[in-house]
Amino acid sequence: MNTPQTVFEQLHTAYQPMVMQMCTGFVKGDRDIAADLSQEVFINVWNALPGFRSESSHKTWIYRITVNTCLQYIRKSKNKTRLPLEHAGTVTETPNTEEERASSLMRSIGQLENVDRLIIMMVLDELEYEEIARVMGISENNLRVKIHRIKLRLKTLMKDGE
C-alpha cells in the first residue's frame, strides 16, 4: 500500500538530485545554503502532499514547489549577510576540469535575474517547454521569448567568465 511516507520516500529518492542541483544554481553555487534550501523544498513537499490531486505529474509538481521555495528564500534571506558573488571564487583562466566548468556555469547562472535563473535551470534539466510553462504559469510563447533572451545572456556571461 502507498502510504504518504512511502510516496514521500520515493519522491525524495527520485528528485533529490534535481532539487539540490536547482537550489545550488539558485544560490549561486553555495552548497551549504543549497542543502538547507533543498531540505526546505522537501519539507514543503511533505506538507503539500495531502493536497496533491494528480492534475499534474509528480515531476511538474515538485518543480513548482522547488521554484516557489527558491523564490520565497529571497524574502527569508534578505536580512542575512550574503557572500558577494565576486568572493565566491572567480576563475580567471579557462576552466579545464569538469568541476571548474560546472562551477563556472553555476556562477554565470547566478548572475541572471531570479526568475530567469530558475527557467534556464529547467531548460538545462531538459524539461519540455510546455512543462516549464505549466510550472511558471505563463504562456508557452512568452516562455520561448524569455528562453531565447536568457540563452543569449548566459552565453555572454560564460564568455566573460572565461
Binding footprint of other proteins on the chain (CB under 8 A): 5, 8-9, 12-13, 16-18, 20-21, 24, 31-32, 34-35, 38-39, 42-44, 46-48, 51-52, 61, 64-65, 67-69, 71-72, 74-75, 78, 98, 101-102, 105-106, 113-116, 118, 121, 124-126, 134-139, 142, 145-146, 149, 151-152, 154-155, 158
DSSP 40-94: HHHHHHHHHGGG--SSS-HHHHHHHHHHHHHHHHHHHTTTS----GGGG----SP
Instruction: Output the smallest distance, CB 146 to other proteins, in A.
Output: 5
Instruction: Output the smallest distance, CB 35 to other proteins, in A.
Output: 4
Helix (H) or strand (E) holding 45, with range, is helix 31-48
90 or 139: CB nearest other proteins: 139
Instruction: Output the smallest distance, CB 56 to other proteins, in A.
Output: 9
Q: How far is CA 23 from the centre of its chain?
A: 5
Q: Specify the 3-state DSSP secondary structure of 90.
A: coil
**Residue holding cell 506538507?**
47
Instruction: Output the smallest distance, CB 132 to other proteins, in A.
Output: 10
